[in-house]
Amino acid sequence: MARERQRIRIGKSQDFATGRIEIVALEGREIGVTRLLTGELRAIANRCPHKGAPICRGIIGGVWDSSGPGEMTFNNNREVLICPWHGFAFDLASGRELFWKRPASLRMYPIEDSGGEVFVMI
Protein backbone atom coordinates (compact mmCIF):
# COMPACT_ATOMS: atom_id res chain seq x y z
CA MET A 1 0.00 0.00 0.00
CA ALA A 2 1.40 3.40 -1.00
CA ARG A 3 2.51 5.68 1.79
CA GLU A 4 0.48 8.83 2.10
CA ARG A 5 2.45 11.96 1.27
CA GLN A 6 3.28 14.42 4.01
CA ARG A 7 2.78 18.11 3.40
CA ILE A 8 5.69 19.93 4.99
CA ARG A 9 6.20 23.67 5.25
CA ILE A 10 9.69 24.67 4.14
CA GLY A 11 9.63 28.48 4.26
CA LYS A 12 8.15 31.65 2.94
CA SER A 13 7.62 32.46 -0.71
CA GLN A 14 10.32 35.13 -0.73
CA ASP A 15 12.89 32.58 0.47
CA PHE A 16 13.01 31.00 -3.01
CA ALA A 17 14.36 32.99 -5.94
CA THR A 18 15.12 32.33 -9.60
CA GLY A 19 18.64 31.33 -10.56
CA ARG A 20 19.61 29.68 -7.27
CA ILE A 21 18.65 26.58 -5.33
CA GLU A 22 17.96 26.40 -1.61
CA ILE A 23 18.62 22.94 -0.21
CA VAL A 24 16.32 21.85 2.59
CA ALA A 25 16.52 18.65 4.65
CA LEU A 26 13.20 16.86 5.00
CA GLU A 27 12.70 13.49 6.67
CA GLY A 28 16.25 12.42 5.91
CA ARG A 29 16.16 13.65 2.31
CA GLU A 30 17.80 16.66 0.73
CA ILE A 31 15.55 18.61 -1.61
CA GLY A 32 16.55 21.60 -3.70
CA VAL A 33 13.98 24.30 -4.20
CA THR A 34 14.10 26.97 -6.86
CA ARG A 35 11.83 29.29 -8.75
CA LEU A 36 11.45 29.36 -12.53
CA LEU A 37 11.30 32.59 -14.53
CA THR A 38 7.56 32.01 -14.79
CA GLY A 39 7.31 32.23 -11.01
CA GLU A 40 6.54 28.53 -10.57
CA LEU A 41 8.45 26.63 -7.91
CA ARG A 42 10.29 23.35 -8.35
CA ALA A 43 11.38 20.88 -5.67
CA ILE A 44 14.11 18.50 -6.82
CA ALA A 45 15.70 15.51 -5.10
CA ASN A 46 19.36 16.35 -4.50
CA ARG A 47 20.55 13.31 -6.40
CA CYS A 48 21.56 13.13 -10.05
CA PRO A 49 19.93 10.16 -11.82
CA HIS A 50 23.25 9.51 -13.57
CA LYS A 51 25.70 8.77 -10.72
CA GLY A 52 24.02 10.09 -7.59
CA ALA A 53 25.81 13.44 -7.41
CA PRO A 54 24.34 16.22 -5.23
CA ILE A 55 22.90 17.86 -8.31
CA CYS A 56 21.28 20.76 -6.50
CA ARG A 57 24.76 22.14 -5.86
CA GLY A 58 25.12 22.57 -9.60
CA ILE A 59 24.84 25.74 -11.64
CA ILE A 60 21.59 27.05 -13.10
CA GLY A 61 22.12 28.62 -16.48
CA GLY A 62 21.37 28.37 -20.16
CA VAL A 63 22.77 26.34 -23.03
CA TRP A 64 25.32 26.97 -25.73
CA ASP A 65 24.02 27.03 -29.26
CA SER A 66 25.80 27.19 -32.60
CA SER A 67 25.19 28.15 -36.19
CA GLY A 68 28.14 26.09 -37.43
CA PRO A 69 31.65 24.88 -36.63
CA GLY A 70 33.50 27.39 -34.47
CA GLU A 71 30.42 29.59 -33.90
CA MET A 72 29.09 29.75 -30.33
CA THR A 73 26.22 31.70 -28.84
CA PHE A 74 24.80 31.50 -25.34
CA ASN A 75 21.08 30.96 -25.16
CA ASN A 76 19.92 31.96 -21.71
CA ASN A 77 16.23 31.48 -22.37
CA ARG A 78 16.17 28.02 -20.88
CA GLU A 79 16.54 27.23 -17.24
CA VAL A 80 19.00 24.43 -17.08
CA LEU A 81 20.58 22.71 -14.11
CA ILE A 82 24.10 21.44 -14.73
CA CYS A 83 25.28 18.55 -12.57
CA PRO A 84 28.48 19.50 -10.70
CA TRP A 85 30.08 16.10 -11.28
CA HIS A 86 29.71 15.09 -14.93
CA GLY A 87 28.05 18.15 -16.40
CA PHE A 88 24.84 16.49 -17.58
CA ALA A 89 22.20 19.15 -18.25
CA PHE A 90 18.57 19.00 -17.07
CA ASP A 91 15.65 21.21 -17.97
CA LEU A 92 14.39 22.68 -14.70
CA ALA A 93 10.79 23.00 -15.81
CA SER A 94 10.35 19.35 -16.83
CA GLY A 95 13.23 17.69 -15.00
CA ARG A 96 14.24 15.93 -18.19
CA GLU A 97 17.82 15.60 -19.33
CA LEU A 98 18.67 17.68 -22.39
CA PHE A 99 20.72 16.47 -25.33
CA TRP A 100 20.28 12.77 -24.98
CA LYS A 101 18.32 10.24 -26.99
CA ARG A 102 17.01 8.42 -23.89
CA PRO A 103 16.80 11.29 -21.42
CA ALA A 104 16.95 10.62 -17.69
CA SER A 105 14.74 12.66 -15.37
CA LEU A 106 15.30 14.46 -12.09
CA ARG A 107 13.07 13.32 -9.27
CA MET A 108 10.63 16.13 -8.59
CA TYR A 109 8.30 16.60 -5.62
CA PRO A 110 4.96 18.42 -5.66
CA ILE A 111 5.39 21.93 -4.26
CA GLU A 112 2.86 24.71 -3.62
CA ASP A 113 2.79 28.30 -2.51
CA SER A 114 -0.20 28.85 -0.25
CA GLY A 115 -0.67 32.40 0.90
CA GLY A 116 3.04 33.10 0.93
CA GLU A 117 3.92 29.85 2.74
CA VAL A 118 5.69 27.14 0.71
CA PHE A 119 4.93 23.45 1.20
CA VAL A 120 6.52 20.33 -0.26
CA MET A 121 4.75 16.98 -0.47
CA ILE A 122 7.05 14.04 0.19
Q: CB of 59: closest distance to other proteins in angstroms? A: 11
What residue ranges bind other proteins (CB under 8 A)? Answer: 63-66, 68-72, 83, 86-89, 97, 99-101
For residues 93 and 105, give the distance between their C-alpha atoms in angstroms, rounded to a whole number: 11
Composition of the chain by helix, strand, coil, percent to 5: 5, 50, 45
Determine the residue type at 77: N
> Is 58 or 120 the residue whose CB approaches other proteins more closely?
58
Nearer to other proteins, 18 or 75 (CB): 75
Q: Minimum distance from CB of 84 to other proteins (Å)? A: 11
| Helix and strand totals (H; E) in the chain | 0, 10
The residue (of 70 and 115) whose beta carbon lies closer to other proteins is 70
Residue 33 or 89: the one with the smaller Cβ distance to other proteins is 89
DSSP bridge partners of 96: 105
42 contacts 53 by C-beta, under 8 angstroms: no
- Minimum Å distance from CB 49 to other proteins? 12
What is the DSSP secondary structure assignment for residue 95, as one 8-state letter? -
Shortest distance (Å) from residue 104 CB to other proteins: 9
